[in-house]
Amino acid sequence: MVSTTDDTQFWDKAARKYAAAPIKDTIGYERTIERTREILGATDTVLEVGCGTGTTALKLAPAVGRLIATDVSSEMIAIARGKVATAGCTNVDFAVAAAGDVPGPDAAYNAVLAFNLLHLIPARPSTLSSLHRRLKPGGLFISKTPCLSEMNPLIRYAIPIAQFAGKAPYVSCFSAAELEGEIEAAGFTIIERARHGSTRKDARIFLVAQKPTDQSPKRG
Ligand SMILES: C[S@@+](CC[C@H](N)C(=O)[O-])C[C@H]1O[C@@H](n2cnc3c(N)ncnc32)[C@H](O)[C@@H]1O
142 lines ligand 1 (CB under 6 A): no
| 63 touches 42 (CB < 8 A) | yes
75 lines ligand 1 (CB under 6 A): no
Residue 72, in any domain of the structure: yes
47 lines ligand 1 (CB under 6 A): no
Question: What is the CATH classification number for the domain harbouring 58?
Answer: 3.40.50.150
Residue 14, in any domain of the structure: no
Cα separation of the two ends of the chain:
40
Q: Which protein residue has the closest C-alpha to ligand 1 atom 10? A: 117
Question: In this predicted structure, what is the pLDDT of residue 4?
Answer: 38
114 lines ligand 1 (CB under 6 A): no
Pocket test of ligand 1: the residue of 56, 72, 75 to mutate, having most ligand atoms within 8 Å of its CB, is 72
Give the count of domains, the chain: 1
Q: Which regions of the chain does DSSP assign to beta strands (E)?
A: 45-49, 66-71, 92-96, 109-115, 135-146, 189-194, 204-210
Residue 9, in any domain of the structure: no
Residue 217, in any domain of the structure: no
171 lines ligand 1 (CB under 6 A): no
DSSP output for 76-89: HHHHHHHHHHHHT-
Query: What Å distances lie between residue 162 and 75, 93, 156, CA to CA?
Result: 22, 34, 10
Query: What Å distances lie between residue 29 and 18, 35, 119, 183, 216, CA to CA?
Result: 16, 10, 18, 22, 38
Residue 30, in any domain of the structure: yes
| 138 touches 210 (CB < 8 A) | yes
Angle, CA 112 vertex, CA 192 and CA 71 arms, to 5°: 130
Residue 168, in any domain of the structure: no
Please tell me the distance between residue 218's alpha carbon and the centre of ligand 1 in angstroms: 37
The helix (H) or strand (E) run that includes residue 97 is: none
Give the span between the Cα atoms of 94 and 81, in whole angstroms: 6
| 141 touches 132 (CB < 8 A) | yes
74 lines ligand 1 (CB under 6 A): no
Question: In this predicted structure, what is the pLDDT of residue 218?
Answer: 56
Residue 166, in any domain of the structure: no
Give the span between the Cα atoms of 152 and 169, in whole angstroms: 19
- Atom in ligand 1 nearest the alpha carbon of residue 23: 9
Residue 151, in any domain of the structure: no
Q: Which amino acid is at 89?
A: C
Domain range holding 181? Answer: 25-146+176-210
pLDDT in tens, the chain (220 residues): 434 347 999 999 999 999 999 998 999 999 999 999 999 999 999 999 999 999 999 999 999 999 999 999 999 999 999 999 899 999 999 999 999 999 999 999 999 999 999 999 999 999 999 999 999 999 999 999 999 999 988 988 899 999 999 999 999 999 999 999 999 999 999 999 999 999 878 999 999 999 999 755 556 5
Does this model's pTM top 0.85? My answer is yes
C-alpha 18, offset from chain centre = 16
